[in-house]
A and B are shown apart, each in its own frame.
Chain A
Amino acid sequence: QSALTQPRSVSGSPGQSVAISCIGTSSDVGGYDYVSWYQQHPGKAPKLIIYEVNKRPSGVPDRFSGSKSGNTASLTISGLRADDEADYYCGSYAGKFGSGTKVTVL
């Protein structure tokens, strides 16, 4: 199974917005509205922050938002904070994960 394609890294200053893309195919990202996003801080387990493209679990701030267009899903973090610095992974139907993106807060 090929991983979904994510940029290796993105960065932004506190208060800014950053967007992370997740490129798949019509068999995964593009074919179903079942894209999820996970945040992983160093040494910690991943945490679900977005599911079904744009839904947030209870307790996840609305600074995190998701969207999808065709075979590409996106995670946007608005009002960037120092504790948003982490690795982010997308996931799709049928058990595919993205390659991961490191978000750095400058």
Chain B
Amino acid sequence: EVQLVESGGGLVQPGGSLRLSCVASGFTFSSYWMTWVRQGPGKGLEWVANINLDGSEKNYVDSVKGRFTISRDNAKNSLFLQVNSLRDEDTAIYYCTRDVGYTTLDIWGQGTMVTVSS
């Protein structure tokens, strides 16, 4: 079964950090771009960052540039998102997704919740 499973979310104070993880199974992870998407409470979807097959190309939405870092470990079928200098507006469910091209996201994980609050 093709599956993505996220972990690493939690409650963190403003200015804090977390490392989100996503483990892929059921497909050849190293053959796909991967994308993180987030959804604030009661809000719509927001594209956050993506990474190419070998990790040499990374793209970010302007609001997280310099604070978030996307990475991957193909040997461990894993995708990561290091989130630093967290702000209230970063509170959201973070989804790991498989990108089959031009932001067509065909597989989604169940999401991991990040809550930024003092």
Contact = CB atoms under 8 A, between A and B. Distances in A.
A and B: bona fide binding partners: yes
A105 interface: no
A51 B50 contact: no
B44 interface: yes
Contact of A46 (B50, B61, B95, B102): B95
Interface string B100-112: 1111111011110
Given A45-B95, A45-B111, A46-B95, A97 B106 contact: no
Contacts of B45: 38, 46, 89, 91, 97, 100
B103 A91 contact: yes
B62 interface: yes
Contacts of A65: none
Nearest to A33: B102
Contacts, number: 61
Contacts of A51: 100, 104, 106
B4 to A, nearest CB: 9
Interface size, A (range): 20 to 34
B27 interface: no
B40 to A, nearest CB: 12
28 contacts: A1-B62, A3-B44, A32-B102, A34-B101, A34-B102, A34-B103, A36-B104, A38-B45, A38-B105, A45-B95, A45-B108, A45-B111, A46-B95, A48-B104, A48-B105, A57-B106, A91-B103, A91-B104, A93-B102, A94-B103, A95-B103, A96-B47, A96-B103, A97-B37, A97-B44, A98-B44, A99-B44, A100-B44
